[in-house]
Structure 1
Amino acid sequence: MTTATSVSPLRGRTAVVTGAARGLGEAMARLLSARGARVALLGREEESLARVSDSLPGEAHCYQVDVTDDTGMARAAAEVRRRLGPPAVVVANAGVAEGGPFPESDPATWRRVIEVNLIGSAITARSFVPDLLATGGYFLQVGSLASIGASPLMSAYCASKAGVESLAHSLRAELAHRGVGVGIAYINWTDTDMIRDADQHAVLRELRGHMPPPARKVYPVEHVAGRLVTAIERRRPTVYVPAWLRATQLVRAAMPAVVTALSRRELPRLDARDPFEATGLLGPGGRAGATTGPGAPR
């Protein structure tokens, strides 16, 4: 971890963070800037992005863009390169979630989760990997405990996070000999607008409430962001927050059977008490307007 007397390897480098208007993306942007990086903030919420950008201690610019828009992301990447220089760090953080029974899920909402979380991460990589090749940089994919073990009632989110884990592993193997590092962050419940919104819905509140005590704990966003930025500085291939999540890799083959057994027992009882309903996209970030394109850089 960078101390008050040490110089971060991020100093003077350009870092890109998607989903930077709030939550984990905002917290990471603040830490990257505090450690000396020039920061490009990408997201769909223009006013929130501008607020974050204007409050950072170092040079920062924001770009209104939807990560699922190939053309918009290519334009944003070109503008970042022009104004801040080619990125040495790219964080694929943008993500949305929804919950509820799969058969009754809205197809457009379900598809949107896959598009933002998985396709958006791939488009982010496609847009910025050429710069990372030039800088010998590092790409961090934000994953989840859901990348390791799927749960009921969150099929789109779990499928997308399993997908980004495979994407990160594939990119790491493909780019290692070309000097680009690729990491994946496995994180659990983090205190963001999205998670606070999830707790307002019985379907997801009950889901978290029936997890083992360590797995249901919500971690401060600043703590999670700090661990991830330190992993960026050290170019780690994996980072787990909390650290005990690493142990789930040892038992992941057994997890589907265990989750199925618990669900077979608990879901009928919970559904009878409070019928499960679709949540729609969670949090103000998930519900942000569909305006795309890089917008006016700041």
Structure 2
Amino acid sequence: MAPSHTPAPLQGLTSVVTGGSRGLGLLMADRLAARGSTVTLAARDPDELDRAADLLRARGRHGIRTAVCDVADRAAVRDMMRTAAHGRGGIDTVLACAGIIQVAPVRDIGAAEFERAMDGIFRGALHTSLEALPYLRESPAGGRLGLIGSVGGIVAPPHLLPYACAKSAVGALAEGLHAELAKDGVSVTAVHPGLMRTGSHLQAEFGGDAGREFGWFSALAGAPLVSMDAARAAERIVAAVERRRTRIVLTPAAKAAAVLHGIAPAATTRLTAVADRLLPAPTGTAGGLRKGRDTPPPAHPVAARLRAWGSALGDRAATAYNERPAAPRPQHR
């Protein structure tokens, strides 16, 4: 007798991905849809959302919806969840991935950059979690919540301090929610990726000596021996949420850093101080962050070559994962 077909755990369920219009969020949405889940992509840019939905549908993914939503606005998140649940019988899986990356020495940023990081990353994850919980508790399949932190929230890297602070808070939120929601049948997975080749170097914001900051960041984010293929990372994250794992750390370098920090936190902090000496010096002028795609080329030829090499490594991912801005529409007279 042929074995009976067992549906995948996420087949026929309803999912929401915040930050789902590009990069890792888009790739996780693809993996959810591939498992037979209907998916709502939530992000702030409607044009970006439309392109993301078209990319997924071109891959044969069905049941894709989009919702324009700023996750820093809790009321907007509440409305988005209500819309996502409408006609679907509720919401079963939620992945919170929205956020921003700011790269600059702390002397070249102000409190506003920390506040923006907390709004977009931590408060975004908090609002998403709180507004999703009523639906996840009622899910017949048992709700699943995945919060995307970062190894940068475990070991704070220099020149990424606002990002690291916000991601650290997301990690604490995930651990606390896991403890409190287990009795409700809701699983919470804390996800701590290392560097991934998503093309995010074009969307990240850079300050200080912006051209050189872009150079080192794009080089590390695109280097195959240091960073991870983003599609592979997305598959592992969705599989971890599907299996209700408590925590997942991605990339060997991230795992090593997390273990070292747990065993010898003082030594780890001293190593990050050494790394800081290799990075561009502060300019001493706060403010003026700009997107990676808008940063000027560095004057030093070695830095310029590093920038060109690093950017080239991530450019293919940027195109594939909707990280590039749309081409201007032709003007008709």
Verify same fold: TM over 0.5: yes
Aligned-pair CA distance for 1:195: 3.3
The 1:66–1:252 alpha-carbon spacing in structure 2 relative to 1, beyond 3 Å, is same
Shift of 1:244: 6.2
Instruction: Tell me, in whole angstroms, the C-alpha distance in 2 between the residues paired with 1:251 and 1:267.
Output: 18
CA contact (8 A) 1:194 1:282 kept: no
Q: Specify whether residues 281 and 19 from structure 1 end up closer, same or farther in structure 2 by C-alpha distance, changes over 3 A only.
A: farther
Q: CA deviation at 1:31?
A: 1.4
Q: 2:129 aligns with which of 105, 125, 141?
A: 125
Letter in 2 for 1:61: R
Identity among equivalent pairs (%): 28
Tell me which of 236, 241, 244 is aligned to 1:227: 236
Shift of 1:18: 0.3
1:240 to 245, 249, 258: 249
Which residue number corresponds to residue 53 of structure 1?
53
Correspondence for 1:69 among 67, 73, 92: 73
1:134 pairs with one of 104, 129, 138:
138
After TM superposition, give the deviation of residue 103 of structure 1 in Å. 3.0
**What does the per-residue CA deviation read over 1:98-119, in whole Å, with 9 as the maximum and x for residues that have no partner?**
0212233043333111111101
Structure 1 Cα separation of the partners of residues 6 and 291 of structure 2: 40
Which residue of 2 is the match for residue 191 of structure 1? 197
Scaled by the length of structure 2, the TM-score of the pair is: 0.74
- Kindly provide the amino acid, as one letter, of the partner of residue 236 in structure 2: R
Distance in structure 2 (CA, Å) of the matches to 1:101 and 1:16? 35
Asked which structure has the greater RCO (Cα within 8 Å, sep 6+), the reply is: 1
The corresponding residue for 2:33 is 33
Q: 1:225/1:271 Cα in 2 relative to 1: closer, same or farther (>3 Å)?
A: closer
CA separation in 1, counterparts of 2:109 and 2:184?
42
Sort the Cα spacing of 1:53 and 1:174 in 2 relative to 1 into closer, same or farther, 3 A: same
Question: How far off its partner does 1:152 sit?
Answer: 1.5
1:81 Cα shift?
1.2
Is the alpha carbon distance of 1:130 and 1:270 closer, same or farther for their aligned partners in structure 2, counting shifts above 3 Å? closer
Q: Deviations over 1:191-236 (max 9, x none)?
A: 123235669742364478799x99x712221111111111122111
**Matched positions, count:** 281
| C-alpha distance in structure 1 between counterparts of 2:191 and 2:284, whole Å | 30
Deviation at 1:165, TM superposition (A): 0.5
Conserved? CA contact 1:96–1:286, under 8 Å: no
* Greater mean alpha carbon deviation, residues 245-254 or residues 177-186: 245-254
SS for the counterpart of 1:83 is coil
Mapped pair 1:169 → 2:175: yes
Q: Which runs of 5+ in 1 are unaligned?
A: 289-298
Q: List alignment gaps of at least 5 residues for structure 2.
A: 294-321, 326-333
- Whether the aligned pair in 1 keeps the contact of 2:194 and 2:253 (CA below 8 Å) is no
* Residues 161-186 of structure 1: CA deviation (Å, up to 9, x unaligned): 11101000000011001100000111
Partner of 1:111: 115
For residue 286 of structure 1, report the CA deviation from its aligned partner: 10
CA change 1:209–1:23 in 2 (3 A) is closer
Q: Give SS of 1:235's match.
A: coil
Q: Which residue of 2 aligns with 1:80?
A: 84
